[in-house]
Structure 1
Amino acid sequence: MTAQITAIVTVAVVAGAVLATTIMMLLWESGPDASRSVISARVAMIIQLVEASPNRDDAMRIVEAARGHGMEVALVDGPPPPGRRDSPPLRSVTFRLAYGWGMDVAVWDQSWGDDVETVMVPVAEDAHLVFRIPLQMVLWREVVKIGGGTLIIVTLFVVLLQAYARRWIARPLDALADAAVSFGQSPSDDRLLSRPAPREIVRVAAALDGMRTRIRNLIDDRTRMLVAISHDLRTPLTRLGLRAEQIADPAIRSAMLTDLDQIGRMLNETLDYLRDDARTGQMIRCDLPSLITTICSGFADVGHGVRYDGPARLTWTCRPGAVSRAIGNLVENGVKHGGRTVVVGLRSVDGGIEIVVADDGPGVPADLRERVFEPFFKGNSARGGAGQDGFGLGLSIARDAARLHGGDIALNDRPEGGLVARLFLPAAAQHFLTS
């Protein structure tokens, strides 16, 4: 917006300056002007000084002094030659000398091609002065002065306007954008536009505040609903589990407990996807290798081949709960659909860090690598038909956690066979998320 306003005003002001200069030049050509009046006064003063000189030497010194000040003048012996004695045009210096100063101009001439006026004035019976006045040079000198001053004024005006636009228009818009992005990252953020701003921006800020209030109310209602669902569903599930333990037939008891366990996992997965504590968690500096090692150890303790391969120390500013959940879901996806081994790597890359989860399973077809991140989508046919339980929310939760930090997750083929999930966390988001 600042660039657009500056460009518009600059073009407008420069066009106005050009138009004003053009009008000035047209007026200059059509009538008397101040520059010729000044030149006429100088010529008249030189003529008067030479006429008042007691001898030729003094007259020559006056002529030399006039030449030193830029006047093209010469003192010539003898009377002036016969020349034009009719009325000179109004725009000439001769007209001002004859009718403004009452001087006897013997000869005048104008060379219109060069715009040079020649004036011969007798100053004694045996001498006359010859002036050659370059009118075009005088004209352009004045035009340059006026044009230069106009450009300086235009430049100062544009700089002041740019500062005004930056302070009163662009900066409030930046603050409004920061507040909107911050709210998108953390709905509990209460930052509002506090500095003076144009009326339209204030209205947008008020609309944003109202929208934020409504969204926060919806989130609070959803949280209360989730708490109620969690309580109302877990209680009967617990009672069913206790009653299933009392069934005498081992086969029926085992099948019922398996079904109840699957329902509990689906319920937990859905609640994990819907709950908001990961999004509102505090940004802190944590040691990522320790966090990843803890996740790997949890899977290894129950018999899965999960190991960590990366640096021993690497601190990073993030929401540990969200990052832990994302890594855990990626590892669980590799354990569930992959082969015997899952390797979790960590490395620094340009602009941030990358967490790599690689398995040796069948992989995911290229046309499904984006769809598997959609909520409730199951691509089990691409991963050997394993893991039919669950709602297909694990990868959706992982990508949401990555994008919460300004990063993303991508799936690629593993060169030696299998699937590689790359979770990227940018460094650029750290300062903003902690501010």
Structure 2
Amino acid sequence: MNFRLGVPDTIAWRIALTVGAAIMSVLVFSTLFDRFAGPSSAEQAELIRADDAVRMIEAAPSSHRQNLANTVTIADKVFWYPSGTSVARQLALAYLRDPDPKTVDSFRDNGHERRNVIFTASDPLSRSIDFDRLAHPDAYFMAVQLRDDSWVLFIANQRRWGDLLPGRLATTLACVALLILAASMLATYFLARPIRQFAEELRQRGGDPRAGPVREAGPKELRSAIAAFNGLQAQLRKFVDDRTLMLAAISHDLRTPLTKIRLRGEFIDDEEQRARLFRDVDDLQAMADSALSFFRDDFRDEEATAFDFAGLLRTIADDYSDHGAVVRYAGPDRLALIGRPFSLRRACMNLVDNALKWGGSADLELTCVPGGVALTVNDRGPGIASEVLEQVFDPFFRVEQSRNRSTGGMGLGLTSALAVIRAHGGDIVLSNREGGGLSVCVSLPVGSKVTQSPAPPL
């Protein structure tokens, strides 16, 4: 919704314009309804002629009124009923029972409205009227009371004086309600569309502070909120870049003293102590490199492409099996996925390493689910206590509390895997298996249609 007429593009103005559009729609509809659905100018002229006929009949003596009524041509038939007759009494009672919905205000007697009743052939009032009911089942009646309580009845074989008021009122109210609802829904759509677009762009970024700024669009208030978000994102991006730069500098500066320690260790005569020293140096170097790689988020620099995810998992299982590890794969032989293959390979290997370290084996099972794929990595290890199932994703958190890397590692494997999976729009859920072991369920959305084929029979 673009505002190019000098009107401020704000939520308040959009709501005001919505209300104004609804009111104008109702006014236009009312005008058109009165023009086409209400009494037309020709019908108004007939009502005026009927009023003149009533005045003329009323001015004539009683003995000549019916003859005079027979000469009126504005209706198919015109009857005059003296007061006291059954028809006159029924018309008077009908007016007293329901004086408003079946009256026409075009008949005047010295400025005052005359009593009048409108009804159709289906009304019980028509039973005492002399007309051809079979030939004219849709006949229309209009009765007007004179000063002496007698009645003049106009009969039209077709509609001439507008519909009954209750029907017109229901139609009018229904149309007005539909107009207001349509105007409100249209305005709400244009008001909510930029908010939906903002939320969709946030979901696509996946919480990445390095993503570009969100496009500012929509009302003024929403543009201010987007600008504030972009400013906050820029600050976070600067913070992450500064942190990564600091860690890179620390990792680089550590190389010199570690190299000196390794050189000096060459002069240690005790081979066992020298081996322990070199092992500690390697641990320090590996810790610095792994921490730097995690904080740098190298996987985000990889371009997304279409690749065979099932083939990647089979390759991982074959590589581990070649080195004597028990890693089994079950699932389709081929399955196309759009993503970063090297990053996903590293994340899956982290999960397999974790399963091998604690369970001695890893079972990979790949299945298709609505909207994506699911990878399950099962092991037969001790599992994880339920109170720390979510905590294991925290950086540097280890279930094994010792600082020995051979048993506890750095505490970044699951954290790094979760970051990669979430960067692809997926998630990781841990659960303990019945009978022992841990089950890691990885869900990934599919950017394109899944093309798969069953694995060949063994």
TM-score, normalised on structure 2? 0.65
* Deviation of 1:421 (Å): 1.4
After TM superposition, the structure 1 = structure 2 runs for residues 244-255 of structure 1, keeping only pairs within 5 Å, are 244-255=265-276
Query: Which residue number corresponds to residue 337 of structure 1?
Result: 358
- Correspondence list, 1:25-174, <5 A: 42-45=50-53, 48=56, 62=71, 66=75, 73-75=78-80, 97-99=108-110, 119-120=145-146, 130-131=151-152, 141-142=164-165, 144-145=167-168, 148-149=171-172, 151-167=174-190, 169-174=191-196
CA distance in 1, matches of 2:79, 2:67: 14
What does residue 251 of structure 2 align with?
230
Give the Cα–Cα distance (whole angstroms) in 1 for the partners of residues 198 and 185 of structure 2: 19
CA drift at 1:323: 1.8
Task: Determine if the alignment matches structure 1 residue 284 to structure 2 residue 305.
Answer: yes
Instruction: State whether residues 143 and 151 of structure 2, in contact with CA within 8 Å, keep that contact through their aligned partners in structure 1.
Output: no
RMSD value over aligned CA atoms? 4.6
- Offset at residue 139 of structure 1 (A): 11
* Greater Cα offset, 262-271 or 393-402: 262-271
2:135 equivalent in structure 1: none
Q: Which runs of 5+ in 2 are unaligned?
A: 1-10, 31-42, 89-99, 118-124, 126-141, 155-160, 449-458
- Alpha-carbon spacing, 1:264–1:47, altered in 2? closer, same or farther (3 Å): same
CA deviation vs aligned residue, 1:85-112 (integer Å, no higher than 9, x gap): xxxxxx99999654369xxx9xx899xx
User: Is the alpha carbon distance of 1:313 and 1:81 closer, same or farther for their aligned partners in structure 2, counting shifts above 3 Å?
Assistant: closer
Once the two structures are superposed, the pairs formed by residues 396-435 of structure 1 within 5 Å of their partners are 396-415=415-434, 417-427=436-446, 430=447
Change (3 A) 1:221 1:81: closer
Aligned to 1:295: 316
The whole-number CA distance in structure 2 between the counterparts of 1:229 and 1:418 is: 38
2: CA distance, partners of 1:306 / 1:241: 36
Secondary structure (helix, strand or coil) at the match of 2:302 reads coil
Q: 1:248 to 1:295 in 2, by over 3 A?
A: farther
Which amino acid in the other structure matches residue 45 of structure 1?
Answer: A
Distance 2:434 2:215 in 1: 51
Aligned residue in 2 for 1:23: none
- Structure that is richer in helix per residue: 1
Tell me: CA distance 1:205–1:81, structure 2 relative to 1, closer, same or farther (3 Å): closer
Match of 2:397 in 1: 377
SS at match of 2:164: helix
Separation in 2, partners of 1:321, 1:109? 89
Q: Deviations over 1:65-98 (max 9, x none)?
A: 6256xxxx5245xx86799xxxxxxx99999654
The answer as to whether partners of 2:47 and 2:106 remain within 8 angstroms in 1 is no
TM-fit CA distance, 1:56: 9.9
SS at match of 2:362: strand
Cα distance between partner residues in 1 of 2:227 and 2:106: 71
Three-state SS of the structure 2 residue aligned to 1:131 is: strand
Q: For residues 354 and 105 of structure 2, what CA distance do their matches in structure 1 show?
A: 100
- Aligned positions of 1:255-294 closer than 5 A: 255-294=276-315
Deviation string 1:215-270 (CA, Å, 9 cap, x unpaired) is 22222222322321221123432443344345332111211122222223322332
CA distance in structure 1 between the partners assigned to 2:233 and 2:104 by the alignment: 76
2:369 aligned with 1:349, yes or no?
yes
Contact 1:247 1:253 survives alignment (8 Å): yes
User: How far, CA to CA, are the matches of 1:38 and 1:408 in structure 2?
Assistant: 77
Out of 212, 217, 220, the position equivalent to 1:190 is: 212
TM-score scaled by length of structure 1: 0.68
Give the aligned partner of residue 325 of structure 2: 304
The match for 2:412 is 393
For residues 272 and 313 of structure 1, the distance between their equivalents in structure 2, rounded to whole angstroms, comes to 31
The unaligned stretches of length 5 or more in structure 1 are: 21-34, 84-90, 123-127
Q: CA deviation at 1:327?
A: 0.9
- The structure, 1 or 2, with the larger RCO (C-alpha pairs under 8 Å, 6+ apart) is 2
CA distance in 2 between counterparts of 1:248 and 1:256 reads 12
Offset of 1:141 from its aligned partner?
3.1
Q: 1:412/1:176 Cα in 2 relative to 1: closer, same or farther (>3 Å)?
A: closer
Rounded Cα–Cα distance in structure 2 between residues aligned with 1:283 and 1:95: 78
Conservation of the 8 A alpha-carbon contact between 2:376 and 2:439? yes
Does the aligned pair in 1 maintain the 2:383–2:432 contact within 8 Å? Answer: yes
Indicate conservation of the 8 Å contact 1:334/1:358, yes or no: yes
Shift of 1:393: 1.7
Corresponding residue for residue 201 of structure 1: 222
